[in-house]
Chains A and B, each alone.
Chain A
Amino acid sequence: MPHLTDAKIKELEALANRIRQDVIEMVVGAGSGHVGGPLGMADIFTALYFHVLRHDPKNPDWPDRDRVVLSNGHICPVLYAALARSGYFQVEELKTLRKFGTRLQGHPHRTALPGLETTSGPLGSGLSQAVGMAIAAKMEAKKKKESGPRINVYCLMSDGEQDAGNIWEAAMLAGKLKLDNLTAVMDRNNIQIDGMTEDIMPLEPLREKYEAFNWHVIEINGHSFPEIVNAFDTADAVYEKPVLIIAHNIPGKGVDFMEFSYPWHSKVFKPGEAKEALHQLRTLGGKITGEHE
């Protein structure tokens, strides 16, 4: 992937901010949906769709594209915003989220919208699907006489869904098959619906668990573009092991009263809250004057 210049970092930060605003506007328009997770993952989605992925928004079925599997489908507002902002469909359509007849279903449905690789929502099965894609990609690569660019498979998953046994079945198989074309990113934001992950079902030590399953594990600050891009770069270089990037994220990132608050996993905005959230994003927390205030 291309070198990450200072100018590019600034561009990605601005895009991530725009995508966070999209997320809030979408959820407000829909009257329901999840905000905490999407805001926390906005930087990683931005890095993926605007710097890391080999993809072509005008040709979403390009066979040699990298694959993105969103396992925790409920954070789809951020995926939809990233897809729209990178050109898969009109930004205008984001307003239709969760409404009758929409292509932007409450949880993503693959055949409804260009750019989606899976249907997802029920937690714990996205990593398996990504493993299946990685296996198939390796089978195909083995058949080809000339080696072309490798298809990378990226699975974005939550920390809460690590409670599910299906995840560990997938992790075991990926380790066994040495799927170095697979990179999983865990949104380590420490919250799930019923509370803090370590109270609901302690997950730690996550690094050691995945390492014991023969994965290469990288831990990053999920809001630092240099760290995000560097981790994906490293994941590209790691040989004969799948890679897990544990992204330490702040749920609700960018809006002070939402940060670190598990009720914002799927809370609905009260009057005034959305306006305040958008104000904080547009003014970068009061540092600048918002353009559309």
Chain B
Amino acid sequence: MPANPSARLVENVLDLKALEQKPTREGFGAGLVKAADDSPEIVGLCADLTESTRMEPFARKYPDRFVEMGVAEQNLAAVASGMAAMGKIPFITSYAMFSPGRNWEQIRTTICYNEQNVKVIGSHAGVSVGPDGATHQAIEDIAIMRPIPNMFVFAPCDMGEGEKVTIAVANAKNPCYVRFAREKTPVFTTAGTPFAIGKAQVFWVEPPNTKPDVAIVACGPLVHNAVLAAAELEHAGIKVRVLNAVSIKPMDEQAVVAAARDAGAIVTVEEHQITGGMGSAVAELLAQRHPVPMEFIGVQNRFGESGSPSELIEHFGMGVNHIRQAAERAIKRK
């Protein structure tokens, strides 16, 4: 069983039929209520998507701390900046396509440059939004949030980690962006799975006293696909390390460089354009610190389209087989 024991994943991590399936946004909903219970300064603002972004449990429990903004994402960001200026800790929610998609400049100037402690929550990120189609599938959000100074960026891999990230960003003192997904995906971490800002966890580890042949750095619900690919590769005699890069910024530079050094080949996996996303962050780091052959799993300069989430993940080349083949290509390029 080469799932890393210290990651304390669920026991049946490879059994898709047995795993509980819940969307990561559920983790946001649960985490926000818990964080708000502890911190009276937390307020919630939503642009007419309270239920589907899962801000509703908070809004119901704390109606005096909730502001319904209507369909006005620029106002959503800048009003939050004003509330943060008065000492509040605003969480703002919409679909990632609209926030941070539509209000980028307000986030950059009034939140990040202005050093206001606002948490931007982008739900429905990735093509797995499904039937709604490309207009609602945010696959550029990491790329637009990552370069802004003061901003942290996270992509939790399942509902449990979504809750942990939500509580952690509530306690952070700077602007944070967290991307969540609409679709139900496997819940494979446990309460004991470690999470810390700036840390990547090894979810799958090479056998003791060996070096991995390849390392897969993944974020978001596709981390589970990376784990499944790792199991298949291992079955074929290839040693694999899988890193969960939930903390895209700040990135766990030490863990990523160590993976490149130990494996000599890297595959990045994200439900995002390969331009500017988590894979690009890894490439920027490794180009400077330890260049190795890299393969990028993600959307390749295309818009999404309608379909079921699983159809779209396959269509855009982010399935388990695609990850396995990318690993084999990366190893060959060593």
Contact = CB atoms under 8 A, between A and B. Distances in A.
A222 to B, nearest CB: 25
B64 A142 contact: yes
A110 interface: yes
Nearest to B47: A169
Interface in B214-244: none
Contacts of A110: 114-115
Contact of A135 (B72, B79, B87, B113): B79
Contacts of B83: 132-133, 135-136
B147 interface: no
A103 interface: no
Interface in B274-288: none
Contacts, number: 100
B86 A121 contact: no
Contacts of B88: 136, 139
Interface in B51-91: 64-65, 67, 69-70, 72, 74-75, 77-88, 90
Interface stretch (B103-111, B167-175, B185-193): B103-111
B110 A118 contact: yes
Nearest to B69: A173
Given A111-B115, A166-B106, A128 B74 contact: yes
Interface string B158-195: 00000000000000000000000000000000000000
B79 A129 contact: yes
B43 interface: yes
Nearest to A155: B82
Given A132-B80, A173-B69, A122 B109 contact: yes
Interface residues of A, number: 33
A132 B82 contact: yes
A125 B114 contact: no
Given A110-B114, A135-B67, A129 B109 contact: no
A122 B83 CA distance: 19
Q: How large is the interface on B (under 10, 10 to 19, 20 to 34, 35 or more residues)?
A: 20 to 34
B79 A128 contact: yes
A173 B109 contact: no
A293 interface: no
A31 interface: no
Contact of B78 (A67, A128, A136, A137): A128
Summarize A's interface: helix, strand, loop or mixed: helix
A166 B78 contact: yes
B82 A140 contact: no
A224 interface: no
Contacts of B114: 110-111, 118-119
A117 B116 CA distance: 11
A118 B67 CA distance: 21
A122 B114 CA distance: 12
Contact of A136 (B75, B86, B105, B106): B86
B85 A118 contact: yes
Residue of B67, B74, B82, B84 ringed by the most chain A CB atoms within 10 A: B82
Contact of B82 (A130, A166, A172): A130
Contact of A173 (B79, B86, B87, B115): B79
A129 B85 contact: yes
A225 to B, nearest CB: 29
Given A133-B83, A172-B72, A119 B109 contact: yes
B72 A169 contact: yes
A119 B109 CA distance: 7
Contact of A166 (B67, B75, B81, B84): B75
Given A111-B115, A132-B81, A166-B75, A122 B105 contact: yes
A109 interface: yes
Contacts of B113: 109, 119
A273 to B, nearest CB: 33
A130 B75 CA distance: 11
4 nearest A-B pairs in the assembled complex, by CB-CB distance = A132-B82, A128-B78, A136-B86, A169-B75
24 contacts: A67-B85, A69-B82, A109-B113, A110-B115, A111-B114, A121-B109, A125-B105, A125-B106, A128-B74, A129-B78, A129-B110, A132-B78, A132-B82, A132-B90, A133-B83, A134-B82, A135-B67, A135-B79, A136-B82, A137-B86, A139-B64, A169-B74, A170-B79, A172-B72
